Amino acid sequence: MRNSRRSIAFMLLVSVFIFFSASYFLFKFWFGYPNPFVVVLSDSMKHTGENWRKDLEMRGIDSSNLPIEGGFERGDILVIKKCELEEISIGDVIVFEAYGRRIAHRVVEIERTGENLIFKTKGDANPESYYFEQSILPEHIQGKVIAVIPKIGNIFLLFSK
């Protein structure tokens, strides 16, 4: 009986591993990015009131129908999809690289300088944009956030520094 339970537990563990491995490679292919998942490390996009909405409206951005309107917080997992720069709009949440870290913040401004697009972002919970978000170049953008999986990333945070 004891060996039978161990065998079942082992088979279940192997099945879960195979399922998640297959899902990861499917998502990788489908979303066009080597790692389509990002574990959220901060609360810079956590909504604790309506201040995030007021800040956007002061910039002339209609906050009534934004992607990822509910925000996200530390421990959530973001699903990102690679996209063309022209597909990114003000109000979208993008993932970009700055100083070796992946950051997910909302686009608050897009500036066209000749042939180039330059993006400015801000975390919904932050009082203002940080210096590294003032002019994000296209080569640093990894994609748009298309979904949030709440709390699952806490497992990964347990094993990070």
- Whether residue 126 sits in one domain with residue 110: yes
- Whether residue 56 sits in one domain with residue 17: no
- Whether residue 43 sits in one domain with residue 90: yes
The average confidence (pLDDT) of the chain is: 86
- Whether residue 58 sits in one domain with residue 16: no
Long-range contacts of 25-28 (CB under 8 A, 24+ apart): 27/79
Residue 139, domain CATH: 2.10.109
State the Cα–Cα distance between residues 40 and 133, nearest whole angstrom.
Answer: 17
- Whether residue 74 sits in one domain with residue 6: no
3-class state of residue 145 by DSSP: strand
3-class state of residue 146 by DSSP: strand
Task: Report the predicted TM-score, pTM, of the whole model to 2 decimal places.
Answer: 0.79
- Whether residue 16 sits in one domain with residue 47: no
State the Cα–Cα distance between residues 121 and 61, nearest whole angstrom.
Answer: 13
Q: Given this model, what pLDDT does residue 157 score?
A: 82
For every residue of 68-120, which 3-state class applies, written as one string?
CCCCCCCCCEEEEECCCHHHCCCCCEEEEEECCEEEEEEEEEEEEECCEEEEE
- Token pair belonging to 35: 């790692």
Could you read off the pLDDT of 41-98 as tens digits, one per residue? Answer: 999 999 988 888 888 898 898 888 888 888 999 999 999 999 999 999 999 999 999 9
- Whether residue 48 sits in one domain with residue 11: no
The residue whose two tokens read 């790692």 is: 35
Q: Given this model, what pLDDT does residue 24 score?
A: 61
Tally of domains in the chain: 2
- Whether residue 132 sits in one domain with residue 68: yes
Domain membership of residue 75 as a residue range: 33-158
